[in-house]
Amino acid sequence: MSRFASAETTAETARISPATSSRLLLAIIGAASLAACAQSPVGRQKADLASTGRQVAIERPHRVATLHPRPISRVRVPSETADARPTASRGVASFYSDTETASGEKFDKNELTAAHPSLPFGTRLRVTDVSSGRAVTVRVNDRGPFVRGRVVDISPSAAEALGMVDKGITNVRLDVVQ
């Protein structure tokens, strides 16, 4: 019997109260988090800055825009001659209709507007049909076109002025007017 009595008293003294165990757990978590902070790259950078006295540029991760793909054609730099006009690009144009533009304006099919992948909103473009020579000046107020090989989407009224409504698409030259 004496063996059982001494085992019971040892078990009672070895028990830890729930409050004590929670305090112990919090102390372990706190020590682990402090140890993790001491080994972080930010902590090492601060230590490096303090020891050398120099400032180190911290690089930020590169942000990639996912809403607008890269433009299909780039804006060409005009040549140095006096007769040269700044030509934005050459390629295929199409026309479209939408309800709202990327600039926030409500789309109006009766206005002479266009969608271009990279030119700033408000830029005036002269769109010239290469085959017929017809031209119309439009204002960029939207982004697009998002079809490979196309350089501009124009409103239905601009397409009518170029005479391309029946064709749907046409080869054009874009000149930045303003």
Position 97 pLDDT exceeds 60: yes
Alpha helix ranges (H) inside the chain: 2-14, 18-38, 41-52, 156-162
Q: What is the residue-wise DSSP string for 3-26?
A: HHHHHHHHHHHH---HHHHHHHHH
pLDDT of residue 12: 56
- Candidate ranges 54-68, 69-83, 150-164; pick with highest mean pLDDT: 150-164
pLDDT of residue 30: 84
Token digits for 116? 């271009």
Domain boundaries, the chain: 16-59, 87-176
Position 80 pLDDT exceeds 50: no
Q: In this predicted model, which residue has the larger pLDDT, 85 or 147? A: 147
pLDDT of residue 81: 46
- Give the pTM: 0.51
Spatial contact of 72 and 60, defined as CB atoms under 8 Å apart: no
pLDDT tens digits for range 105-160: 888 889 999 999 989 999 999 999 999 999 999 999 999 898 888 999 999 999 99
Cα–Cα distance, 70 to 147 (Å, whole number): 12
Per the prediction, the chain carries an average pLDDT of 75
Fold type of domain 87-176: Barwin-like endoglucanases (2.40.40)
pLDDT tens digits for range 7-49: 555 555 567 788 888 888 888 888 887 777 666 555 555 555 5
pLDDT of residue 41: 58
